[in-house]
Amino acid sequence: MRNKVSTFLWCLAIVWCFLIAGNANAQNANQAVKKKYDVAAFLYPAYISNEPRIRPFWPLGIGEWETVTNMQQRYPGHYWNRKPLWGTVNEADPAVMSMEINEATKHGVNVFIFDWYWYDGRPFMETTLDSGFLKADNVNKMKFYLMWANHDVVNTWDTRLNKINDDNVIWTGKVSRDEFEKICKRNIEMYFKLPQYYKIDGKPVFMIYDVPQLITGLGGIEQTVAALKWFKEETIKAGFPGLELQLTMWSINVNYSGFDGSKTKNPENAFVKKLGFTSATHYQFVHFTNVNDDYLNIIDRAKKEWARIDTAFTLKYYPHVSIGWDNSPRTGQSAVVKNNTPANFAKALQMAKDYVDAHPHQAPLITINSWNEWTETSYLEPDNVYGYGYLDAVKSVFGGEQ
């Protein structure tokens, strides 16, 4: 009898151990599933109808939807014939943006990175952010941050003139120190202090697109170092622990000819570090590789580029995935990414997710080009070719409503 009781108790103990182990595994699996990722899509704010300053480029008053919708008229029979399933919506309308926020978060996109412009002493195409996103009734579902697109405005946006190579600068992206301070103070007060503004360790993230342009406007490298240092100090004065100054990683931004790196072992890293950038991501695959290729080849090169950056730079790199590239709506011809199906895009997203998981000591941030770069054919918004395929790809990798 005693042996039977002992055997029974022994079996019960074994079963109990298995139950505990099984429960622990289930909890670990559940935690893995629930891991939060910050999936951030760049948002190009040109699809608007209520900003007078866009009319010289798109006179119909629907922003760059004009370039999308008249493509076949300008190039009859051209292979590019994309149509937005949501129509030519005004993204500066809060009701439209509310719908887009719902669709974004439902599919796992929980941050918008607004391309932000400043020309001729004032903001340009800011209404998508101010009138649309920030006034949407569900704005608290998402975060946002700014990428200062400080490039010159030439004839690129105007399809009537963009074939004329006359180096015509309509507005310059260069700013003086006084103008720079005006921009920074305005952004700290208007945006950084908002609860929806995306922060890493409490520090507002601010991304700069064109570093040489910034340096030229400010008068040189040392002047730029001083200006960016001042920007960080002003951010701290405003009550933040610091500023997450984010570099747009592409060749012109790290190979600045005015920097003497002859005595430096790694001049690229020294240059970026000197300026005070603390993190980086890309804006587009086209900035560092040949995109006139199969998408699987492109993302293989992207993975190698991430590894190179990891080794060469001391700043934190956040992986970037572009959906595609085809600039022909503006120009009629372009390098074209091939085979960039939603299934292959999902492979690139999984690659980015793996990178984030392998870097647990930095923010779980992934950037995507883009939410709506229609005229560069790199967008998540649904169309007549793949429907919701790209959004579904994001959801398949990261889940929705995080």
- Domain ranges in the chain are 1-34, 39-398
Q: Could you give the CA distance from residue 324 to residue 292 in angstroms, rounded to a whole number?
A: 10
Q: Give yes or no for a contact between 69 and 88, defined as CB atoms under 8 angstroms apart.
A: yes
pLDDT band at 327 (very low <50, low <70, confident <90, very high): very high
Residues with Cβ within 8 Å of 361's Cβ and at least 6 positions away in sequence, in order, are: none
pLDDT band at 8 (very low <50, low <70, confident <90, very high): very low
The rounded percent of the chain whose pLDDT value lies above 90 is: 80
Weakest mean pLDDT among 101-110, 260-269, 391-400: 260-269
User: Does the structure show a pLDDT above 60 at 273?
Assistant: yes
pLDDT, position 266: 82
Q: Give the residue with greater pLDDT, 28 vs 250.
A: 250
Q: Could you give the CA distance from residue 256 to residue 220 in angstroms, rounded to a whole number?
A: 11
C-beta neighbour count of 81 within 10 angstroms: 12
pLDDT, position 255: 76
Q: Give yes or no for a contact between 317 and 304, defined as CB atoms under 8 angstroms apart.
A: no
pTM: 0.90
The rounded percent of the chain whose pLDDT value lies above 70 is: 88
Cα–Cα separations (whole angstroms), residue 22 to 9, 14, 33: 20, 12, 16
pLDDT tens per residue across span 279-300: 999 999 999 999 999 999 999 9
Q: What does pLDDT average to over the chain?
A: 91
pLDDT, position 18: 45
pLDDT, position 6: 53
User: Does the structure show a pLDDT above 50 at 30?
Assistant: no
User: Does the structure show a pLDDT above 50 at 243?
Assistant: yes
User: Does the structure show a pLDDT above 50 at 360?
Assistant: yes
Three-state DSSP string of the chain: CHHHHHHHHHHHHHHHHHHHHHHHHHHHHHHHHCCCCEEEEEECCCCCCCCHHHCCCCCCCCCCHHHHHCHHHHCCCCCCCCCECCCCCCCCCHHHHHHHHHHHHHCCCCEEEEEEEEECCEEECCHHHHHHHCCCCCHHHCEEEEEECCCCECCCCCCCCCCCCCCCCCECCCCCHHHHHHHHHHHHHHHHCCCCECEECCEEEEEECCHHHHHHHHCCHHHHHHHHHHHHHHHHHCCCCCCEEEEECCHHHHCCCCCCCCCCCCHHHHHHHHHCCCEEECCCHHHCCCCCCEHHHHHHHHHHHHHHHHHHCCCEECCEEECCCECHHHHCCCCECECCCHHHHHHHHHHHHHHHHCCCCCCCEEEEECCCEHHHCECCCCECCCECHHHHHHHHHHCCCC
Q: Give yes or no for a contact between 111 and 40, defined as CB atoms under 8 angstroms apart.
A: yes
Q: Could you give the CA distance from residue 74 to residue 330 in angstroms, rounded to a whole number?
A: 10
Q: Could you give the CA distance from residue 171 to residue 71 in angstroms, rounded to a whole number?
A: 26
Residues with Cβ within 8 Å of 229's Cβ and at least 6 positions away in sequence, in order, are: 276
Q: Give yes or no for a contact between 108 and 398, defined as CB atoms under 8 angstroms apart.
A: yes
pLDDT, position 261: 52
pLDDT tens per residue across span 157-199: 787 877 776 678 889 999 999 999 999 999 999 999 999 999 9
The structure tokens 């809060």 sit at 94
Residue 2: phi and psi, rounded to 5, are: -60, -40
175: left (phi over 0), alpha (psi -120 to 50) or beta: beta
pLDDT, position 50: 85
pLDDT band at 10 (very low <50, low <70, confident <90, very high): low
pLDDT tens per residue across span 42-63: 999 999 998 999 999 999 999 9
Q: Give the residue with greater pLDDT, 29 vs 121.
A: 121
Domain 39-398: assigned CATH number? 3.20.20.80
pLDDT, position 252: 86
Q: Could you give the CA distance from residue 319 to residue 368 in angstroms, rounded to a whole number?
A: 9
The structure tokens 């029974």 sit at 8
The structure tokens 């190039």 sit at 75
pLDDT tens per residue across span 120-160: 999 999 999 999 999 999 999 999 999 999 999 888 878 78
The candidate with the shortest Cα–Cα distance to 366, out of 357, 358, 356, 381, is 356
Q: What does the chain come to in residues? A: 402
- Amino acid code (one letter) for 24: A
